[in-house]
C-alpha cells in the first residue's frame, strides 16, 4: 500500500500527497493538469506494475515447482524469448503497433509465442527425466528464438527496429486505460487458473511418481500450469517488454521469508512480493525528482541480481530450501 502511494506521488512533476488524496477522493480540484497526470499516467502505471509483478512472480513459482528446478523461470526456460519472437514477428514484419487492434494482436502474438516455446519445453521434459538437461534445452530454445529475432532485425527497417528495441527495454508506463482493460482481466484469468492448481502444485513437490500415486492426473496438471504460465508471462512481455529476473527471484524470496513450501501460502506471497518488487523497481526507474526514466528491465536486473546473490550466499544452499 505504502509503495502504491509512493509510486503515484513520485514523478517528474511534483504533486503533494494531500493533493493526490483530494483528487482520488473525488473532490473538485483547481489543478486539472495534476488531475490528468494522475489519472492518465501515474495510476495506470502503478496498476501495471502491480499486476505485471504479481504475474511474473507467480509464473516463476509455477515453473520452479513444475520442473522442480530452482533456476527455472519464464526467462531461463525461453518462454519470454518465445514471447519476444511473437512480438518481433508482428512488429518487424511490418504489421506495426498502431490502433486498438494491434494491442490485441501483440497480446495474442506474445502469448502464442510463449505458449509454443513452453509446449516444446514440456514435450522435451517428458522425454528427459533430468532437470539439468531441461534447463539447457530451455536456454537453447531461448538462443534459437533470439537468433531468429536477430535475423529478422537485419532485414527490417530502422524504424521498426527502433520500435522493437524500445519494447525490449521494458516499460510499465506505456499502458492506457484501454490497454489495461485487456491487461488486467487476462492476468486475473492466468492467476486464477494457476491458483486453482495450488493443491496439485503441493503434490508435485513430492515428485512425479508420488504425485501420481496420490491420484494426480499429471498430464492435465502440467497442461494447466503451462497454459497459466504462458498467459502470465506472455501478456506481461507483450505489454511491458521482457522484464528479467523477477520470475526467478520472487519465488525464492517468498520461500526464504515465509519458510514454507505450501503453495496455498506461497502463491499469495509471490503475488504480493512480485507486485511490491516491481513497484520498487519502477519507482527507482523513474528516478524520483528528475526527468529521467530508466528502462525498467535494466533496473530489475541491476538491483535485483545482487539481492538474489546475497540471499543465496546467506542461505549457502538454495536447493535445500527450494521446493
Partner 1 sequence: MDNFSHIMTTTDLSVGYKNGKSVNTLMESLTLRIPKGKFIALLGANGVGKSTLIRTLANLHPILKGEICLKGKNIKEYASKEFAQQLSLVLTDPVQSGNLTVYELVEMGRFPFTNWTGKLMPLDQEKIENAIQLCEISYLKEQKITEISDGQLQKAMIARALAQDGELMLLDEPTVHLDANNRYTILKLLRNLVDETQKSILISTHQVEIALKMADEIWLANCGENMKCGTPNELIKNGDIERAFPYLKKLDL
CA gap 151, 21 in Å, rounded: 50
Task: Tell whether residue 151 is a contact of partner 1 (CB under 8 A).
Answer: no
In the complex, what is the shortest distance from the CB of residue 174 to partner 1, in angstroms, rounded to a whole number? 37
Report the length, in residues, of the chain.
Answer: 323
CB nearer to partner 1: give 295 or 323: 323
Cβ(102)–Cβ(95) below 8 Å: yes
Task: Tell whether residue 322 is a contact of partner 1 (CB under 8 A).
Answer: yes
Task: Tell whether residue 312 is a contact of partner 1 (CB under 8 A).
Answer: no
In the complex, what is the shortest distance from the CB of residue 123 to partner 1, in angstroms, rounded to a whole number? 17
Task: Tell whether residue 255 is a contact of partner 1 (CB under 8 A).
Answer: yes
Cα–chain center distance at 280: 15
Within 10 A of 194 (CB to CB), how many other CB atoms are there? Answer: 26
Q: Please choose, out of 5-13, 167-175, 192-200, 228-236, the segment that lies near partner 1 by the rule CB under 8 A.
A: 192-200
Task: Tell whether residue 196 is a contact of partner 1 (CB under 8 A).
Answer: yes
In this structure, what C-alpha cell is assigned to residue 69? Answer: 528446478
What number of CA atoms fall less than 13 Å from residue 295's CA on the CB side?
Answer: 15
CB nearer to partner 1: give 181 or 262: 262
Packing angle, helices 263-285 and 177-195, rounded to 10: 150
Task: Tell whether residue 216 is a contact of partner 1 (CB under 8 A).
Answer: yes
Task: Tell whether residue 7 is a contact of partner 1 (CB under 8 A).
Answer: no
Task: Tell whether residue 323 is a contact of partner 1 (CB under 8 A).
Answer: yes
The closest of 66, 61, 60 to 200, measured between CA atoms, is: 66
Cβ(258)–Cβ(270) below 8 Å: no
Angle at 215 between CA 190 and CA 260, to 5 degrees: 60
In the complex, what is the shortest distance from the CB of residue 263 to partner 1, in angstroms, rounded to a whole number? 9
Task: Tell whether residue 63 is a contact of partner 1 (CB under 8 A).
Answer: no
- Residues at the contact surface with partner 1, assessed by CB under 8 A: 68, 196, 198-199, 202-203, 205-207, 209-210, 212-217, 255, 259-262, 264, 319-323
Amino acid at each position: 500500500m505504502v509503495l502504491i502511494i509512493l509510486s503515484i506521488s513520485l514523478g517528474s512533476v511534483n504533486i503533494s500527497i494531500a493533493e493526490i488524496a483530494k483528487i482520488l477522493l473525488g473532490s473538485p480540484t483547481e489543478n486539472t493538469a495534476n488531475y490528468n497526470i494522475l489519472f492518465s499516467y501515474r495510476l495506470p502505471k502503478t496498476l501495471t506494475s502491480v499486476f505485471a509483478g504479481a504475474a511474473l512472480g507467480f509464473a516463476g513459482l509455477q515453473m520452479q515447482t513444475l520442473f522442480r528446478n530452482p533456476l527455472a523461470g519464464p526467462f531461463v526456460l525461453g518462454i519470454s524469448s518465445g514471447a519476444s519472437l511473437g512480438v518481433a514477428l508482428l512488429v518487424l514484419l511490418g504489421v506495426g503497433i498502431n490502433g486498438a487492434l494491434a494491442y490485441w494482436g501483440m497480446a495474442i502474438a506474445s502469448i502464442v509465442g510463449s505458449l509454443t516455446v513452453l509446449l516444446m519445453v514440456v514435450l522435451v521434459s517428458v522425454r528427459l527425466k533430468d532437470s539439468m538437461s531441461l534447463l539447457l534445452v530451455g536456454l537453447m530454445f531461448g538462443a534459437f528464438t533470439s537468433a531468429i529475432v536477430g535475423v529478422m532485425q537485419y532485414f527490417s527497417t530502422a524504424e521498426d527496429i527502433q520500435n522493437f528495441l524500445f519494447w525490449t527495454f521494458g516499460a510499465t508506463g506505456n499502458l492506457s486505460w484501454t490497454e489495461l482493460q485487456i491487461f488486467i482481466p487476462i492476468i486475473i484469468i492466468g492467476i486464477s487458473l494457476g491458483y486453482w492448481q495450488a493443491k496439485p502444485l503441493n503434490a508435485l513437490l513430492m515428485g512425479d511418481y508420488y504425485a501420481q500415486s496420490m491420484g494426480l492426473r499429471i498430464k492435465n496438471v502440467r497442461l494447466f500450469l503451462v497454459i497459466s504460465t504462458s498467459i502470465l508471462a506472455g501478456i506481461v512481455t507483450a505489454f511491458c517488454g521482457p522484464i528479467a529476473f523477477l520470475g526467478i527471484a520472487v519465488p525464492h524470496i517468498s520461500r526464504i521469508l515465509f519458510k514454507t513450501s505450501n503453495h496455498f501460502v506461497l502463491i499469495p506471497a509471490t503475488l504480493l512480493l512480485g507486485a511490491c518488487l516491481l513497484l520498487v523497481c519502477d519507482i527507482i526507474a523513474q528516478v524520483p525528482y528528475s526527468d529521467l526514466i530508466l528502462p525498467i528491465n535494466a533496473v530489475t536486473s541491476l538491483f535485483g541480481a545482487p539481492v538474489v546473490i546475497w540471499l543465496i550466499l546467506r542461505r549457502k544452499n538454495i536447493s535445500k530450501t527450494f521446493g
